[in-house]
Each structure stands twice: as C-alpha cells, then as structure tokens.
Amino acid sequence: MDDSELLRHSAHIFLPAMGIEGVERVRRARVLIVGLGGLGSGVALYLARAGVQGLTLADADLVSLSNLPRQILYADHQVGLPKTEAAGATLASLGYADARLLAERLSGARLAEEVDRVDLVCDASDNFATRFAINAACVKARIPLVSAAVIRMAGQLLVVDPKEAAAGCYRCLYPEIEEEAESCSARGVLGPVAGALATLQAAEALKVIAGIPTPLARDLWVFDAKEMESRRIRRRKDPACPVCGALASP
C-alpha cells in the first residue's frame, strides 16, 4: 500500500484484530456477491470501500422503481437498466472500477465455476432455491459463505465456514424445502432493515477474510427490528442433510 492507501484504510489498520495484515488480506480477497437487491447493494458498497479488489457482482434483474427505497446502489435515472450495469456505474462513480459484472442468474455449472474463482461468497439473494444452490456450491468447493436474509422487519445472518463442519450448513437449517414466498416488494420489507443486515453481512465477510473469528460460524443470528430483539442460536449439523450430511465432522 502506498501512503494514500495507508491513510484511506487507517481506521481498519488501527483495529487491533485487523491491522495492516488484515487490510492486506481484504484488499487481495476475491468475493462473489450473488444478488444486487437491498442486501447486495449495501454489501457491495461496503466491500468496495473496504478495498476488496476482486469483487464479482451477479444479478440478472433490471432496476425497478419499487427497488429504490432499499437498493441504495441505484438512482432514479437507472430504472430499467440491468442491475449489474447500474451497480458498476455507481461503484465507478465512487472510484471503484474493478467489479466483474455478471448479468446472469448463476446456477449449476456456472455457479460452481464462479464459486471456485473466489475466496468468499456473500449470498444476498432473495429466494430459497438460489440460497440452497449457493450453499451447496460453497460446501462442495469448501469456500466460506456469508448468508443473509431479510423479510418485513426481520432478518437473519450466518457464516458457513468449512472449518466449522460441526455447525453444518445453510441447508441443515431447513430439513424441509419451504414453499417459495412472494417477492420482497409483495410481502413488504422495511428498507433500512435490509440495510442493517447488509451492513452486518459485509462486516462478517471482512472478519472472515481478515481471519477474525466470528461466533456466526457456529450460530445463527436472528434480528427483529419491530421489537428490537436479537439473539444467537447454536447451529447443529443435520446428519441427514443432503448437502453436508455425508461430510465428516472434525
């Protein structure tokens, strides 16, 4: 890092848990963000600002008017554009021009290929089918996953870390495949609650990259903004999990 980069990242460098070594790891990291909605907007902004040089952003949707209250990457004049194009332009206007942009719904072999390229995946998608697919791809490739979800005024956050096999994976939390709910716009979501989860998802990603231990590698964190309650719940691997059940626990 040159002097201006040292100054830019000084607040992170001064964190004892992060230090210059942690910041260097963050700068070198390759991170895939799947979904550029309310969660992905915040995660992309914070990871870009933290200096992550290898950001890949994936989303197949277009920016719509109803996205704008919570999807803070986008401006009114970008309604109708592909989210990746709009996100790339916003990040470039903030001085970050390096994002790889994938205007596609990653699945199957393409998802596996993109997961293999990175050091960490942030699941910021909005449906169970995608979350299950991302989880399975990350477990198979042994790539850490930071998974967040938000609905109405509540959210959840967890880290699936290959080094914490006893905690299982995202799929272990859902022994039954749940029916797909409606979209965020249809079932409602309070914009800043998506932002809160996005911010903490970015924080967990930076911790994992920098090697700062997180309890969310073993626990599920749930947050209810209506009652302002949050708690951590210990996760256990489901021996019958179709994704990680056959993998040996340490």
Q: Are strands 154-160 and 145-151 parallel, antiparallel or unpaired?
A: antiparallel
Q: Please tell me the number of Cα atoms within 13 Å of 4 on its side-chain side.
A: 0
Is there binding between residue 169 and Zn ion (CB under 5 A)? Answer: yes
Which CB atom, from 137 or from 172, has the smaller least distance to Zn ion?
Answer: 172
d(CA 48, CA 226): 30
Task: Judge contact between 29 and 217, C-beta under 8 A.
Answer: no
> What stretch of H or E contains 220?
strand 219-224
Q: Which listed residue (38, 40, 144, 168) binds Zn ion by CB under 5 A? A: 168
Smallest gap from residue 244 Cβ to Zn ion (A): 3
Q: Is 169 a catalytic residue?
A: no
241 binds Zn ion per the rule CB under 5 A: yes
Quick one: which segment of 7-15, 40-48, 101-109, 160-168 binds Zn ion (CB under 5 A)?
A: 160-168
172-211: contacts with Zn ion (CB under 5 A)? 172
- Binding status of residue 111 toward Zn ion by CB under 5 A: no
- Interface with Zn ion by CB under 5 A: which range of 101-109, 217-225, 226-234, 239-247? 239-247
Contact between 243 and Zn ion by CB under 5 A: the answer reads: yes
User: Could you say whether residue 244 binds Zn ion (CB under 5 A)?
Assistant: yes
Number of Cα atoms under 13 Å in the Cβ half of residue 67: 27
Using CB positions, name the residue nearest to Zn ion: 241
* Closest separation in Å from C-beta 37 to Zn ion: 25
Residue 236, both tokens: 């256990």
Q: Does 171 bind Zn ion (CB under 5 A)?
A: yes
Which one is catalytic: 122, 138, 172, 184? 184
CA-to-CA separations, 186 to 39, 107, 144, 151, in angstroms, rounded: 17, 24, 31, 11
Mark the segment that binds Zn ion (CB under 5 A) among 109-117, 169-177, 188-196, 214-222: 169-177
Strand partners, 223: 155, 230
Instruction: Please count the residues of this chain forming the interface with Zn ion, following the rule CB under 5 A.
Output: 7
Nearest of 221, 225, 222 to residue 193 by alpha carbon = 225
CA distance 228 to 233: 17
* Residues of the shown chain interacting with Zn ion in the complex, contacts defined by CB under 5 A: 168-169, 171-172, 241, 243-244
| Active site residues per annotation | 184
